[in-house]
Amino acid sequence: MTSVHFYHNAQDPLRLACELLGNAYGGGRKAAVIVPDAALAQRLDRQLWTNEPGSFIPHVMNGSPLTAETPIVIGLAGEKDWPHTDLLFNLAPELPAACERFRMLVEIVGSGETERMPARTRWMHYKQRQFPLKAFDAERRMAL
C-alpha cells in the first residue's frame, strides 16, 4: 500500500522538492514529480540543474525518449503513465492520478491558504482509503 508523507508549510515548495529529490537520487531511488503546469515544470527543470553548485540531478520530462532510464521524471497533473513506481512527488493541488501504483507519495504543501485547502481535501481522501499517513513541518523538519 502507498504510504503518504505530507510536508506542510513549505515556504518554497520547489526548493524543498529539489532537496528531497536530491536525497532520493543520492539514495538510488527513482521518482516521478507532478506539477500543475508547464511553467512550473520549466522552473523545476532549471532548479534541478542549478540547485547546488557542482551537483546535477538527472531528470527529464515525462514522454522523453530517455524517460525509462532517467531517475527523475517531471510530468503534468493528470498524467497516469509513469516509468517508475517508487516515489511520487505531488506539487499540484489535484489528487494525483494512479498514485496507488507508487510505494510512497510525497505531498509538498505551501504555506498559503490556497495551498492548504486542497491539501486538506487530499489528506481526507488518503485517510478514507486507509493509506498510511505522516505529516511533517517542512521548515522545522519535524513530524507533526
- Give the integer Cα–Cα distance in Å for 13 and 109: 7
Contact present, 8 and 118 (Cβ < 8 Å): no
Predicted model pTM: 0.94
pLDDT at residue 129, rounded to an integer: 96
User: Is residue 91 in a domain?
Assistant: yes
Q: Find the mean pLDDT for residues 118-140.
A: 96
Distances (CA, A) of 134 to 6, 18, 109: 6, 20, 13
User: Is residue 14 in a domain?
Assistant: no
User: Is residue 67 in a domain?
Assistant: yes
Question: Nearest-CA neighbor of 13 among 113, 139, 143?
Answer: 139
User: Is residue 28 in a domain?
Assistant: yes
How many domains does the chain contain in total?
Answer: 1
User: Is residue 124 in a domain?
Assistant: yes
**Residues 34, 15, 18, 48: is their CA dihedral positive or negative?**
positive
- Looking at residue 84, the DSSP 8-state letter turns out to be -
Residue 69 confidence (pLDDT) above 70: yes
pLDDT at residue 34, rounded to an integer: 97
Contact present, 16 and 9 (Cβ < 8 Å): no
Q: What is the CATH number of the domain that holds 75?
A: 3.40.50.10110
User: Is residue 17 in a domain?
Assistant: no
pLDDT at residue 53, rounded to an integer: 63
Q: What is the pLDDT of residues 82-109, one digit of tens each?
A: 999 999 999 999 999 989 999 999 999 9
User: Is residue 76 in a domain?
Assistant: yes
Q: What is the pLDDT of residues 116-125, one digit of tens each?
A: 999 999 999 9
pLDDT at residue 52, rounded to an integer: 67
User: Is residue 11 in a domain?
Assistant: no
Range of the domain at 98: 22-143
